[in-house]
Chains A and B, each alone.
Chain A
Amino acid sequence: MRRAAHTLVALLCAAAAAAIWASPPEATAQRTGRALYTSACSACHGPDARGVAGKGPSLVGAGAAAADFYLETGRMPLSDPSAEPVRGEPAFTRAERRALTAYIGALGGPPVPAVHPGDAREGFKAFRDRCAGCHSITARGGVAPPGAAPALQQATATQIAEAVRVGPYLMPRFDERQIDDAQLNSIVAYVLAQRHPDDHGGWGIGNIGPIPEGLVAWLLAGTALLIVARLIGERA
């Protein structure tokens, strides 16, 4: 009898150990994430992540894509809910960001998109048609009144894809009917290539477009004209 009880206890212990060992790291991450969420995010997004009126939106359905984007780029948490989220150093450690993303992802919504190698030439066309209006053709950023469209030189491939699918802050969202996965891969390839663009003209002037280029041309031409006028002129 005693022996049988011992065996049973041993078996139970083994089962518990097996259960803990087999418990997916994802579930552990979600538990950690929930605790972190309660302390860091619930003031604006609500204790159950369903949002707080006037402060922050519901995160149910936002998905791991949005959580990963906002946390990895340091855009969340915001100190002032009405401020424009801008890129910065992430506020959490890598493990904490993973845990929070796992928790928000478990509430439903799109997963973190997978990015594959794309064709930068095709990406240029899609970027020109859909993105350059705000981010400028060299992805140096621009204006999206009344906010600012960020420069994309620091964005990673995954973050670019997430932004397209999620549509953060004032940016529209592009689903697969508008930009399919192949096009998205190409856009990512193009944006990554714009970190170090080829300056075929010689001098990039910050790659911020034709207006500064024109100003520089006028300045140089004006100086040259002054010199020519000085050379051909004569004192009376």
Chain B
Amino acid sequence: MRRAENAVAALLALASASLVAFVVLLLVDPDTQWLGLTAAAGLVLIAAALVLAGKRLVPHEPAVEPRPPLEDPEARDAVQTRLRFPRRKLLLASGGAAGAALTAAVVAPVTALGPAVGDSIVDTPWRRGRRLVDEHGTPLTADDIAEGSFVTAFPDGADKRELGSPVVLVKDDPSRIRRRREWAPEGILAFSKICTHAGCAIALYRKPTYEPTSVPPALACPCHYSVFATREAGKVEAGPAGRPLPQLPIEIGPNRELRAAGGFSGPIGPAWWSVRG
């Protein structure tokens, strides 16, 4: 009995240590391999402790309560002693510690949630007159956008990693653009690169080699294949996205530099409570 109790307490102590390590790693150096290992070890050790306790500590013999109830105090104590764990405090302490560590491990990942978006999904770095640059910071001109290709651009002088920064540029025949033609001088269209469904990067440009025998151009998200019609102001053509891809009005400045002519047509970023296109 004592050996089994010691073993259960040791397993619970190891589980606590492992789960505490999980919390510490999460806060200090979140390496996913170690996080997975420590969390899994903690849970497996608790499970092992419970199995061991169930097999070895909980009495398995059928106890029949004799009637009338035992009057003799010695006999009553003998029955109760059999049910009592000699090292009850140790077990309670180790069990409590394991429970607390498990709770901490479950709650700690809350700190991994990102900062509140606030109004950054509406108030993006794009302003009227802001130049479009490529990923190296070189200003883009209207001649850099060839028909049939697509280019990722960022606002000049702003943080590229901000959700509202990246846009996708594509070029189309201006006469074929059906909505917001004035937003696309020379047929150069700009859309947010962030999908309105789950916030993945729009990395697909469906560009027909010969449109009459295939399909019109569209931007698509590789995560869940939301398809946005570029000629129809980013309308959702297919897929799980719930609102159009926000479009950025473009103007061509001196030296044919590409500039924003205003802000996005709607809030950028993934679907969210209370975000409407």
Say yes or no: B212 contacts A54, CB within 8 Å. Answer: yes
Say yes or no: A145 contacts B239, CB within 8 Å. Answer: yes
Residue of B nearest to A178 (CB): B149
A82 contact set on B, CB distance < 8 A: 213-214
A134 contact set on B, CB distance < 8 A: 203-204, 222
B222 contact set on A, CB distance < 8 A: 132-134, 142
Given that A56-B213, A142-B222, A144-B220 are known contacts, is A170 also in contact with B206, CB under 8 Å in the complex?
A: yes
B151 contact set on A, CB distance < 8 A: 178
Say yes or no: A177 contacts B220, CB within 8 Å. Answer: no
Alpha-carbon gap, A146 to B218, bound state (A) = 11
Distance (Å) between the CB of A218 and the closest chain B CB?
Answer: 15
Say yes or no: B149 contacts A174, CB within 8 Å. Answer: yes
Alpha-carbon gap, A81 to B239, bound state (A) = 27
Given that A53-B212, A54-B212, A170-B214 are known contacts, is A144 also in contact with B206, CB under 8 Å in the complex?
A: yes
Alpha-carbon gap, A147 to B227, bound state (A) = 12
Residue of B nearest to A52 (CB): B212
From B150, B213, B215, contact of A146 by CB (8 A): B215
From A133, A169, A172, contact of B149 by CB (8 A): A172
A143 contact set on B, CB distance < 8 A: 225
A204 at the binding interface (Cβ < 8 Å)? no
A22 at the binding interface (Cβ < 8 Å)? no
Say yes or no: B144 contacts A177, CB within 8 Å. Answer: yes
A178 contact set on B, CB distance < 8 A: 149, 151
B238 contact set on A, CB distance < 8 A: 145-146
A56 contact set on B, CB distance < 8 A: 210, 213
* B199-211 vs A, Cβ < 8 Å mask (1 yes, 0 no): 0000111111110
A88 at the binding interface (Cβ < 8 Å)? no
B108 contact set on A, CB distance < 8 A: none
* A101-138 vs B, Cβ < 8 Å mask (1 yes, 0 no): 00000000000000000000000000001101110000
Number of interface residues of B (CB under 8 A): 28
Say yes or no: B207 contacts A167, CB within 8 Å. Answer: yes
Alpha-carbon gap, A177 to B209, bound state (A) = 20
A195 contact set on B, CB distance < 8 A: none
B4 at the binding interface (Cβ < 8 Å)? no
Distance (Å) between the CB of A135 and the closest chain B CB?
Answer: 10
Distance (Å) between the CB of B106 and the closest chain A CB?
Answer: 20
Alpha-carbon gap, A62 to B148, bound state (A) = 13
Distance (Å) between the CB of B11 and the closest chain A CB?
Answer: 14
B275 at the binding interface (Cβ < 8 Å)? no
Show 8 residue pairs from A and B whose CB-CB distance is below 8 angstroms, ordered by the A residue. Answer: A55-B213, A57-B209, A142-B222, A147-B215, A169-B208, A170-B214, A171-B207, A172-B149
Interface residues of B (CB under 8 A from A): 51, 54-55, 144, 146, 148-151, 203-210, 212-215, 218, 220, 222, 225, 227, 238-239
Interface residues of A (CB under 8 A from B): 53-57, 81-82, 84, 129-130, 132-134, 142-147, 167-175, 177-178, 232
Other CB < 8 Å A-B pairs besides A133-B203, A133-B204, A178-B149, 7 of them?
Answer: A133-B222, A145-B238, A167-B149, A169-B209, A170-B215, A172-B148, A173-B146
